[in-house]
Amino acid sequence: MFTSPNGSAPEAGNDQSQKDKPTNGSQGASDTAEHTCTNLSTSLNPHSRRKRIVVGITGATGAILGIKILIALRRLNIESHLIISKWAEATIKYETDYSPKNVRALADYTHSINDMAAPVSSGSFKTDGMIVVPCSMKTLSAISSGYCDDLISRTADVMLKERRKLVLVARETPLSDIHLRNMLSVTQSGAIIFPPVPAYYIKAASIEGLTDQTVGRVLDLFDLDTDDFERWEGWKRAT
Task: Tell me how far apart the alpha carbons of residues 80 and 184 are, in angstroms, rounded to a whole number.
Answer: 28
**Residue 42 assigned ligand-binding role:** no
Encoded amino acid at 226, one letter: T
Q: Which residues pair with 193 in a beta bridge?
A: 168
Task: Tell me how far apart the alpha carbons of residues 134 and 31 are, in angstroms, rounded to a whole number.
Answer: 22
Task: Tell me how far apart the alpha carbons of residues 146 and 166 are, in angstroms, rounded to a whole number.
Answer: 14
Residue 110, phi then psi, degrees to nearest 5: -125, 150
Please state the length of the chain.
239
**Residue 86 assigned ligand-binding role:** no
- Using DSSP's 3-state secondary structure scheme, residue 143 falls into helix
- Peptide linkage before 174 cis (omega within 30 of 0): yes
Contact between residue 154 and residue 121 where contact means Cβ atoms under 8 Å apart: yes
**Residue 85 assigned ligand-binding role:** yes
Contact between residue 170 and residue 194 where contact means Cβ atoms under 8 Å apart: yes
**Residue 231 assigned ligand-binding role:** no
Radius of gyration of the chain (CA): 18
Contact between residue 127 and residue 54 where contact means Cβ atoms under 8 Å apart: yes
**Residue 201 assigned ligand-binding role:** yes
**Residue 110 assigned ligand-binding role:** no
**Residue 217 assigned ligand-binding role:** yes
**Residue 50 assigned ligand-binding role:** no
**Residue 139 assigned ligand-binding role:** yes
For the chain, helix, strand, coil in percent to 5 are 40, 10, 50
Which positions make up the binding site for FMN? 59-61, 85, 136-139, 171
Instruction: Point out the annotated binding site for dimethylallyl phosphate.
Output: 201, 217
Which residues are known binding-site members?
59-61, 85, 136-139, 171, 201, 217
